[in-house]
Amino acid sequence: MGHRVITPREQAWQTRPHADGEPARHVTELSEVAGMRHVRANVWRYEPGAAGRRHRHSTQDETFVVLEGTLSIYLGEPPERRDVPAGSLVHVTAGTPLQSVNHGDEDLVVYAHGWPPEDHHAELLDSAV
C-alpha cells in the first residue's frame, strides 16, 4: 500500500514512567502503525508541569512541531530555554542536548520526527530544570 491514514482512535497512548505526584508524559508511537521504515515519528502529550528527560542523540536529528500549547525546550550546552508556541517547528541536529518541558497550565501536544532512526537509546544527561 502506498499510503496510510491514522485516525485518533487508532493511536494507542502509553504513559511514560514518572514519579508519584509528578505530571505525566504520554506518547503514541506512529512509526510502526504507519509503516514508516526510515524515520521515527511520535506524538507526545505533556500534562501541565511535565518534563522529558534531557538527552542527546548521536546520529539522529529531531524535528518537533507544536500542535497545542507552548513547548519550552532547553537546547545546547549550557542549556538555553526557548518557548515555542503552537504552529511552530524546532529542528535539532544530532549531538545537540535537548529537554522538552511543559511550563504551561494546559496540555502540550507535539509531533516529533527523528531521522535517521537510531537503533539504540539516546545518551541521558542531567536535567536543565
Question: C-alpha grid cell for residue 35?
Answer: 509503516
CATH number of the domain to which 94 belongs: 2.60.120.10
The per-residue pLDDT for 1 is: 63
Residue 33 lies in a domain: yes
- 32 DSSP 8-state letter: H
The per-residue pLDDT for 105 is: 97
How far apart are alpha carbons 6 and 2 in whole angstroms? 14
State pTM to two decimals.
0.93
Residue 35 lies in a domain: yes
**Residue 37 near residue 52 (C-beta atoms within 8 A):** no
Q: Which domain holds residue 54?
A: 24-118
**Residue 111 near residue 100 (C-beta atoms within 8 A):** no
Residue 1 lies in a domain: no
Q: Write out pLDDT tens, residues 46-79.
A: 999 999 999 999 999 999 999 999 999 999 999 9
Residue 99 lies in a domain: yes
Residue 17 lies in a domain: no
Q: Write out pLDDT tens, residues 72-121.
A: 999 999 999 999 999 999 999 999 999 999 999 999 999 999 999 887 88
